[in-house]
Structure 1
Amino acid sequence: MKTAYRINLIVLIINCCLAIELPTAMLFMIVLGCVQIISSVWLTTRWRETSPTVRKLNIYHLVAAITLLVAFFLVLFRQLNLEYDTSRYVFIILIVLAGILAFLFTGVLYKASRE
């Protein structure tokens, strides 16, 4: 689990360094998301080997990821019937939430690597 944590941390640090230029960081978030999905699936396959604390944190992360994905598709398909054109602001909020989700999962992997 330490290897998964280190890989995730390196990709997260690279993404933070690329945040100087926002479009590049947004594109690199796709790579970060793929790394985190693979790590999450790997962590889920090792469910019995993890402590109850890591299991709870992983469940919280999965629920947050699913919620963010649903919110993304609601914005994408313009299901939000708002009076003003706020799609730009909603998109920025979704990007920020995706970054917070990345840090949350890094914390889950950190806790799992300390077992």
Structure 2
Amino acid sequence: MSTPAPDVFLADCPARSALELIADTWSVVVLVGLAHGPRRYTALLDRAGGISKKMLTQTLRRLGEAGLVERPEVRGGEYRLTALGVSLLGPLTALTAWAEEHAHELA
């Protein structure tokens, strides 16, 4: 028996979980913040204006558990995108560029 193709219109579709994770504002900001290479926690905190330490920690934990971000093994190490995280940069870059271009129209 074959597995049905993902369909985001179905309540139990696993793609919905993926969309929920990457549609979060802070997830997008953190992933794009890591686009140009690894960063330490404090560098991400400084770069992502308005994010609290608690929210950054939670976001990095969720992205790490999802396999999008590699978390450092030692305190003070650098966070970096995994291959899966890198594969998401194209769509996220397009989305953030669109948002920056049209933000005033949506307000």
TM-score over 0.5 for the pair? no
- TM-score w.r.t. the length of structure 2 is 0.31
Whose strand fraction is larger, Structure 1's or Structure 2's? 2
- TM-score w.r.t. the length of structure 1 is 0.30
Q: Which has the higher contact order (CA 8 A, sep 6+)?
A: 1
